[in-house]
């Protein structure tokens, strides 16, 4: 049985996020101090994981470059997101849009949605987030990091699994950890978001991180994101 953990950015010796991977990412925080990662798709619109913003709490978004914290005005969860299914480690539409009360600072550069496609085993995707670098600690929390991970398993339209090609889920390697839920999975060498980080495991499918990184691909949800962004007053390029 696969044991997953809620989004648990990036464990191990991952380097700091730089360049195009660093500019769109922001921190999504609730009133209890729990942290996730999000991706700016417009100056006032952030993509993140639905499980990060599903509770009836106040949320804010922070640009790490300036420390500026911005209140959240509206949260749109994908209508097919099922929190019970997520808690039971079943694939669900773990995607949400967060409309901000005011724009992000200019130093945050919004990303674009990748072209809709299925990924294949062996491909490399880049994740970037603010999570801890060691499970069960606060080490590295709120520091942007990035890692290139390989697609493994049987990637489909509902779930994609990634691992560190150097460790292959046999021992601890790079991967998502606590604080990286909602982080982008970038396609290619540019800020094109193809998926959202949803969960992680420790090596050999134990609970924790450093093994597998679970990504919700945007393939089935891209049209909803574009249409919802338009309804929220933050239209994206189709």
DSSP 3-state assignment of 38? Answer: strand
pLDDT computed for residue 6 by the predictor:
43
pLDDT in tens, 64-94: 999 989 999 999 999 999 999 999 999 999 9
Give the bridge partners for 134, in sequence order.
none
d(CA 130, CA 26): 8
Q: Report CA 37 to chain centroid distance, whole Å.
A: 6
Based on the number of CB atoms within 10 Å of its own CB, is 208 exposed (0-12), middle (13-18) or buried (19 or more)? buried
Mean pLDDT of 53-63: 96
Tokens of 227: 């249409």
Q: Is pLDDT larger for residue 208 or for residue 53?
A: 53
Contact 155, 118 (CB under 8 A): yes
Q: Where in the chain is the domain with CATH 2.40.10.10?
A: 5-17+112-217, 23-110+221-231
The band of 10, judged by pLDDT with boundaries at 50, 70 and 90, is: low
The band of 139, judged by pLDDT with boundaries at 50, 70 and 90, is: confident
Q: What is the pTM of this model?
A: 0.93
Nearest to 75 by CA among 32, 116, 28, 107: 28
Share of the chain above pLDDT 70, in %: 94
Q: Is pLDDT larger for residue 121 or for residue 137?
A: 121
Q: Does domain 23-110+221-231 have CATH number 2.40.10.10?
A: yes
Per DSSP bridges, beta strands 184-187 and 192-200 are antiparallel
Per DSSP bridges, beta strands 192-200 and 112-113 are parallel
CATH pick for 5-17+112-217 out of 3.40.50.1000, 1.20.58.220, 2.40.10.10, 2.40.30.10: 2.40.10.10
The band of 13, judged by pLDDT with boundaries at 50, 70 and 90, is: low
């Amino acid at each position: 049985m696969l044991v997953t953990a809620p989004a648990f950015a990036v464990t191990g010796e991952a380097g700091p996020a730089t360049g195009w991977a660093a500019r769109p990412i922001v921190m999504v925080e609730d009133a209890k101090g729990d942290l996730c990662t999000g991706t700016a798709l417009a100056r006032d619109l952030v993509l993140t994981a639905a499980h990060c913003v599903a509770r009836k709490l106040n949320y804010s978004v922070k640009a790490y470059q300036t420390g500026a914290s911005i209140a959240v005005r509206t949260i749109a969860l994908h209508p097919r997101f099922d929190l019970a299914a997520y808690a039971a480690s079943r694939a669900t539409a773990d995607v949400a849009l967060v409309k901000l009360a005011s724009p992000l600072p200019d130093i945050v550069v919004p990303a674009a949605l990748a072209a809709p496609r299925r990924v294949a085993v062996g491909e490399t995707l880049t994740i970037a987030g603010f999570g801890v670098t060691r499970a069960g600690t606060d080490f590295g929390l709120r520091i942007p990091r990035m890692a290139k991970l390989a697609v493994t398993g049987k990637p489909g339209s509902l779930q994609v699994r990634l691992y560190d090609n150097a460790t292959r889920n046999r021992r601890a390697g790079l991967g998502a950890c606590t604080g990286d839920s909602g982080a982008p999975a970038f396609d290619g060498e540019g800020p094109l978001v193809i998926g959202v980080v949803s969960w992680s495991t420790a090596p050999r499918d134990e609970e924790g991180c450093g093994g597998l990184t679970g990504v919700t691909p945007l393939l089935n949800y891209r049209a909803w994101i574009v249409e919802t962004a338009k309804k929220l007053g933050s239209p994206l390029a189709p």
